[in-house]
Chains A and B, each alone.
Chain A
Amino acid sequence: MSLSYLTITQIKQGLTSREFSCTELVKYYLKRIDDNKNLNAYITVATASALAQAQEVDRKIKNKEQPGALEGVPVAIKDIILTAGLKTTASSKALENYIAPYDAAIVKKLKAAGAVILGKTNCDEFAMGSSNETSAFGPVLNPWDKTRVPGGSSGGSAAAAAADLCCFSLGTDTGGSIRQPAAFCGVTGLKPTYGLVSRSGLVALTSSLDQAGPLTKTAEEAAEVLQIMAGPDAADATTYPEPPENYLEALKKDIKGLKVGLPKEYFTDGLSSEISKASKAAIKVLESLGAKFSEVSLPLTQFSLPVYYIVQPAEVSSNLARYDGIRYGHSSLGAKNLAEVYQQSREEGLGAEVKRRLMIGTYVLSSGYKEAYYQQARKVQKLIQRQYQEIFKEVDVLLTPTTPEPAFKLGAKAGDPLSMYLADIYTVAANIAGLCGLSIPAGFTKEQLPIGLQILGPAFGEAVILRLAHQYQQVTDHHLKHPKD
């Protein structure tokens, strides 16, 4: 049986029916990773521990022990998520040799479900970026066109999922960092509602926006993984106290009569004509499945990105204060006094994009500017939240492109930070407004670059956005296409 591009269900069935062993499966992925080293999708490949975990899975299956929900399924984890005993670098020199003493809550959950950890994926440094070019360990290449970016910040996770270097991967999304690379790499990427998934063990960026989520080949698999990841956690006081609903059950219903809004502010001149065409084709498909479309207006859309680039750097400037060379991470050897330990360790350990955001954040929070920038941004954020809440009284979900253009060339936006930020223009609203969002493959450009479509749902509306995506994937095959090796 071919082990190529297996879904979670196919892996579980193959293992329990003993068509292949977990050891064979893990060896397959390890070879895939090695053969595709040039993509630079992984920072750490956990060869020894993955094979040991695989052996344990094979033993369990042989002894007919009860398998976990993800038993033997190999996963790649973004290097911003803590894994005990395995390096977590956040793609930064500041944490180049850091080994966490504990697993993130979501890692604990995946392990308890039987998943096998293949390694840690490359990302933008401290998850700040939209192209995976700010990583201190080199950029990740897009498997569909190696002269182009995979997107960011979860570029490594998206490339790994797209190129079959894992069954699925985990990423994090603060302003679009799961959805945008998912769109660029032709995979399904889900940003759960803030509070649905625990942030305990995530290297903190923006405490009020960060969320971890899955990157998978299908919406069905995203639902399977979300089922394991979601739920309250005593170690994260911002998690929603109720147990998650049954996402897999929810997928099965059809979408007849589902009300889909098309926000006109997302379909303007800045959008690539090919993405616009693909969106129209997708709308036709969804209409044939019974969905009801209407044009809606979200006039505050244009303010989501400026709000984000005030709030995000502000929180980052606070959260990254801990990288001071004292308790862990890079510490400057030449420092003569305490002030130099801080200043030099940070100067040596942190990259340009991180430093830029630290200073923007410091500025918007500083005395004399805090009211005009940070507090004003928070007020505008409230208005944006309310606008989306009102819209979701009229429609069930919103459909938008995920990005204004397909994957751009490596280096194309390197000299212009602002143009890089604009890559997130369609994704940030979900984070700012406290919504859930999913990007699914919806076609290809003439140059065979993936096009992603975004489904936005209200807070805790994962069941409905996954259902729409799943039904779409039952009658289309964009998500089944794979890049050539």
Chain B
Amino acid sequence: MSLTIKEVEHLAFLAKLQLTDEEKQRYAKEISAILAYVEKINQVAQDNQQLINDASISQPAVASLRADEVIGVSSAEQEAMLAQAPEVKNNLIKTKPVFE
């Protein structure tokens, strides 16, 4: 599967990355090579079609859930968390507007 620059740009957009032109060229080549390798799994499909169709993806066992109640966080922990944010105002994390 050979990726075009346009496809790399689309992936970068989905993954929220701003790539340089050099990066786009490089990743197009590298990712195409990696995809060509992983496509090997299709060989299994050919040899084991019956098994593949039966091999349903099982859901992990759901561990017992805890009660739906707020546990909360100490104010010290809250301060420690806010200290990590790039911009804080009135004990709230400040961000650029979602809607311009």
User: Roughly how many angstroms separate A347 CA and B27 CA in the complex, as a whole number?
Assistant: 14
Q: Which residue of A lies closest to B51 (CB)?
A: A383
CB–CB B77/A355 < 8 A:
no
User: Roughly how many angstroms separate A346 CA and B27 CA in the complex, as a whole number?
Assistant: 16
With an 8 A cutoff between CB atoms, is A77 at the interface? no
Residues of B within 8 A of A310 (CB): 38, 41
Q: Give 1 or 0 for each of B30-50: 1 = CB within 8 Å of chain A CB.
A: 110111011111111100100
Q: Give 1 or 0 for each of A294-323: 1 = CB within 8 Å of chain B CB.
A: 000000101100110110000001000100
How far does the Cβ of B53 sit from chain A's closest Cβ, in whole Å?
A: 8
How far does the Cβ of A79 sit from chain B's closest Cβ, in whole Å?
A: 16
Residues of B within 8 A of A306 (CB): 37-41
How far does the Cβ of A236 sit from chain B's closest Cβ, in whole Å?
A: 9
With an 8 A cutoff between CB atoms, is A475 at the interface? no
Q: Contact partner of B42 among A325, A328, A376, CB < 8 A?
A: A376
Residues of A within 8 A of B63 (CB): 237-238, 241
With an 8 A cutoff between CB atoms, is B70 at the interface? no
Q: Contact partner of B86 among A303, A317, A325, CB < 8 A?
A: A325
Q: Contact partner of A350 among B8, B17, B43, B48, CB < 8 A?
A: B17
How many pairs of residues, A versus B, come closer than 8 Å at their CB atoms?
Answer: 145
CB–CB A101/B51 < 8 A:
no
How far does the Cβ of B28 sit from chain A's closest Cβ, in whole Å?
A: 10
How far does the Cβ of B18 sit from chain A's closest Cβ, in whole Å?
A: 4
CB–CB B44/A356 < 8 A:
no
Q: Contact partner of B40 among A302, A317, A337, CB < 8 A?
A: A302
With an 8 A cutoff between CB atoms, is A436 at the interface? no
Residues of A within 8 A of B98 (CB): 338
With an 8 A cutoff between CB atoms, is A412 at the interface? no
Asked whether A363 and B66 contact (CB < 8 A) given A306-B40, A309-B37, A325-B86, the answer is no
CB–CB B57/A360 < 8 A:
no
User: Roughly how many angstroms separate A339 CA and B16 CA in the complex, as a whole number?
Assistant: 8
CB–CB B16/A417 < 8 A:
no
Interface size class of A (residues with CB under 8 A): 35 or more
Q: Contact partner of B44 among A324, A350, A383, CB < 8 A?
A: A383
Q: Which of B51-100 touch A at CB < 8 Å?
A: 51-52, 55-58, 60, 63, 66, 77, 80-81, 83-87, 93, 95-98, 100
CB–CB A359/B31 < 8 A:
yes
User: Roughly how many angstroms separate A241 CA and B19 CA in the complex, as a whole number?
Assistant: 44
How far does the Cβ of B30 sit from chain A's closest Cβ, in whole Å?
A: 5
With an 8 A cutoff between CB atoms, is A89 at the interface? no
User: Roughly how many angstroms separate A366 CA and B39 CA in the complex, as a whole number?
Assistant: 16
How far does the Cβ of A423 sit from chain B's closest Cβ, in whole Å?
A: 14
User: Roughly how many angstroms separate A77 CA and B39 CA in the complex, as a whole number?
Assistant: 36
CB–CB A362/B85 < 8 A:
no
How far does the Cβ of B45 sit from chain A's closest Cβ, in whole Å?
A: 7
Residues of A within 8 A of B12 (CB): 359
Residues of B within 8 A of A421 (CB): 34, 37
CB–CB A382/B11 < 8 A:
no
Q: Contact partner of B60 among A238, A350, A373, CB < 8 A?
A: A238
Partner-B contacts on A (CB < 8 A):
98-99, 101-102, 234, 237-238, 241, 300, 302-303, 306-307, 309-310, 317, 321, 324-329, 331, 335, 337-344, 346-347, 350, 352, 355-356, 358-364, 366, 372-373, 375-380, 382-383, 386, 417-418, 421
The 10 residue pairs across chains A and B that have the minimum distance between CB atoms: A101-B80, A331-B86, A328-B84, A343-B18, A382-B55, A237-B63, A306-B38, A338-B96, A342-B16, A359-B11
Between-chain CB contacts (< 8 Å), 15 pairs? A99-B83, A99-B84, A234-B66, A303-B44, A328-B81, A338-B96, A343-B16, A346-B16, A347-B18, A359-B15, A364-B38, A373-B38, A377-B38, A383-B55, A386-B55
Identify 4 new A-B residue pairs, CB closer than 8 A, beyond the known A324-B16, A355-B19, A378-B57.
A238-B63, A303-B41, A360-B35, A382-B55
